[in-house]
Amino acid sequence: MSVVPIPPRSPLDRERFEALVAEGYDQVPLVRSVELHGSRPVDLLRALPSGQRFLLESTRVSNEGRYSFVGARPFLTFRARGARCEVNGEPQPGEPLATLRGLLGRWRGVRLPGMPLFCGGAVGFFAYEASHYFESLPRHRNDDLGLPDIALDFVDTFVAVDHLEDRALVVATGRDYEDCLQRVEALERVVRTVASTGLREPAWRLADGQTPDVSWRSNFTQEGYQRAVERVQEYIRAGDTYQVNLSQRLEVEPRLPALELYEALSSISPVHFASYLEVDGFEVVSASPERLVRVEDGRAITRPIAGTRRKGTPEENARFAHELRTSEKERAEHAMLVDLERNDLGRVCAYGSVQVTKLMEIIEYAHVLHIESEVVGRLAPGVAPLDVVAAVFPGGTITGVPKIRTMQLITELEPHARGLYTGSLGYVSFTGELDLNIVIRTMVLKGGRAWVQVGAGIVHDSEPRREYQETLHKARSLLLALSACPVEGTA
């Protein structure tokens, strides 16, 4: 990845643009900066044509969560399911990963100083079932939702929202100056219209109180989930595994359209990896707090989360935080997963470069407390973005230890294929850098239904009833959002 010495956010004139093209870059950005006057990323999203829109948002704004990304109308789409893949809806010969690797290597982008990590590229997801491309694993017998294993939309025109400066960076990338100029000016007009319109009143309201009042149906009974926990513990005693993330899937009839649900969920649970996607007739609404991997300036960064308590009063929170810090079970479980992340990064990082930079910090979210750590390594020469994904996917915090055996047990014990749950969602930039979350605290909406999946890490001394309740604690923010009702008289 190259950073060109140009003053931050200064617009490229034709001469400098074409000089970069002559150097071999075929995704050179033209950038326009627009004051937003408080307009939100979701307001910008509403102004774009529906069908293939995306929003990758930091609703928990900080220096780490400075930027959000909004766009629509990809110039190329990639879909894979099983042994088949399509580009722009056309079946492709050969193996899906080889096709995707070729696509990701087709373009060479440049990031100008002052630009965020995403400079155009592929936006979308790797579903949990994408693990079959990286490891020899059995597919689940019951994949009822039928989602793609991989769905990536390649975008060269988008908006990056700078939350700290309340500005939008309108970006168009390519090698043809006139074409980029036309695209950036057209999108700039949309952004200026939104910024001058004022804030839109919510078309929804949250239910009274802090208890979800929406009914749901699980693919487990409570007794069935607890028996599955006990079965995991039998495998642990037999020496098959040390820990397994076991999940249940809740099905709900939503009261709101997906985009209103996204707004409601973001207001309830602000996080660094909020997401909204429209893909092939279904929608994704996510408030994930967890990163799978970020690649920036040749470094790979993971941030495992494991260990959970519900939020309560300040006094309860202090007690729960103390429990997490002192619990042998929670600390041992977390330490195993940190070691797993170190080993995963070690597959693609230079020898001796992988370090634990943060260990077992207690982080508060809207409805839960988590133990979090950070693991960082310097990528070895020649490592491509897909190599990094293959090394760490899926995240160990939502599979278990050892990873391959626990994934076999997940397929055996859970009633349905996971689909998007515990896959990864985010972007791979034209520059080769990337940022992918772990898909938790997420709902998939399709055919008038919403599906929410939540899990718990099972170890030898887990209490089955308590683990079942932990899954429901994790579902609470999603169920509260699904309890929201439309406001009468709003459009």
Q: Which are the catalytic amino acids?
A: 370, 397, 421, 441, 457
Q: How many CB atoms lie within 10 A of CB 60?
A: 18
Backbone angles phi, psi at 305, to 5 degrees: -120, 125
Please write down the HEC assignment for all residues of 411-458: HHHCCCCCCCCCCEEEEEECCCCEEEECCCCEEEEECCEEEEEEEEEE
The C-alpha atoms of residue 23 and residue 6 are separated, in whole angstroms, by 15
Contact call for residues 288 and 454 (beta carbons, < 8 A): no
Q: Residue 20 is inside which H or E element, if any? A: helix 14-22
Q: Are strands 54-57 and 273-279 parallel, antiparallel or unpaired?
A: antiparallel
Q: How far apart are CA 34 and CA 224, in angstroms?
A: 54
Residue 179 near residue 29 (C-beta atoms within 8 A): no
Cα separation, 1 vs 245, in Å, equals 36
* End-to-end alpha carbon distance in the chain: 45
The single-letter code of the amino acid at 1 is M
Query: Which residues have C-beta within 8 Å of that of residue 260, sequence separation ≥ 6?
Result: 202, 203, 204, 484, 486
